[in-house]
A and B are shown apart, each in its own frame.
Chain A
Amino acid sequence: MFSRSMTHLLLSTGIVLAALCGAGSSTAAAQDRDSAIGFQFPRNAASWVNSQPFTREQLAGKCAVMVFFEEG
């Protein structure tokens, strides 16, 4: 159904869109309580390991536990 050129088009557009969304649209000060900040998950597949990118919309109505760490 999809032509190669269209796939290429979508991928190239996606890369740019991904870069945009990876910006971290709002930087908030450290918060130790509930917050409603507009964070977005990175949309660039290169920023993900073990999975394709997730979006907040995909996780609507669910919980997501995010463990931040530095080791590596």
Chain B
Amino acid sequence: MWPDLQAVARKFQDKPVLFLAVNSGTPRPQLQSYLRKNKVRWPAIADTDRSFERSCGVPTISLRNIYQVRIMKPDGTLVATSPIRMEQTLAGVVGAAKWNVDPKGIPVSLKSAWVNVEFGKFALAASTLKKAGNSRKPEIKQGARKLLDYVGKKMKKQIEAAKKAEADGKVWVAFRGYSDAAVRYKGYELPRDITATIKKLQASPDVKQEVTALRILAAAKRKLYGKTVSSRKSGFRSLERLAEQQAETQAGREAQRLIDSLNRR
């Protein structure tokens, strides 16, 4: 199956599409070994607890339902298809997908950095772009500048949103925005005071409460997907407490959503 799927992927290699393998229920080391053996180099998700499978509305993958394909369209919606129909379905939706930076004028030496920028892996492209931005070769310098401008605009937008949230007293939103920017845009010209700002926000009671609630949620989820019935019951009770006692936090809301989804099953 994988050679056929990879052949389809090659047909779309110059299109704005990412191919992902999602494995249900297998421990990560086993999955790594399987992917190596089958020469699958696609990004892969080890969906050990099948939560991703469920969130995508995929019927449980099993011996009776071995493969399922979902295509995320450019508008973010999912369309269900199969390995056999995959090429046809993708051909029908990929036309609406777009590159963020026109690949025309991007020199071959910057293609890898361009792909990283296109798929939001900005930090991975940082050192290449920084170096290329000072190149003596005009085409390399120009290509790098084009990509650096794009990343710079994205970073500025995110920092400005975090600043606005901070000014509006939305401390948790601001903290998340700055923290994410610090990781995502590592290697670029981040504001000099961003570390101090993150530290200051981290000390606020709101952020402390949110982080504590997230830790409780993480622990509850580990129990929820545990092997024993008592562990799962304990995890569910933790979720209920979290949803009730910390309803105003992000983790509290997520706990409630999780409870609702489990109750619907």
Contact = CB atoms under 8 A, between A and B. Distances in A.
Interface of A: 1-3, 6, 9-10, 13-17, 19-20, 22-42, 46-52, 54-72
Contacts of A55: 120
Contacts of B195: 1-3, 6
Interface of B: 5, 9, 15-26, 28, 30-32, 34-35, 40-48, 51-59, 61-63, 66-74, 76-80, 83, 86, 90, 93-94, 97-98, 100, 118-121, 124, 176, 179, 182-183, 186, 190, 195, 198-199, 202, 211, 214-215, 217-218, 221-222, 250-251, 254, 257-258, 261-262, 264-265
Contacts of A34: 73, 77-79
7 contacts: A6-B198, A16-B215, A37-B57, A62-B16, A65-B17, A69-B23, A72-B30
Interchain residue pairs A-B with the least CB separation, the first 10: A58-B120, A24-B55, A51-B43, A72-B26, A19-B218, A24-B51, A27-B261, A16-B214, A28-B57, A39-B55
A59 B18 contact: yes
Contacts of B63: 70
Interface of A is mostly: loop
A17 B55 CA distance: 17
Contacts of B54: 24, 27-28
Contacts of A2: 182, 186, 195
Nearest to B56: A39
Given A13-B179, A17-B214, A62 B97 contact: yes
A66 B23 contact: no
Contacts of A58: 119-121
Given A20-B214, A72-B34, A48 B43 contact: yes
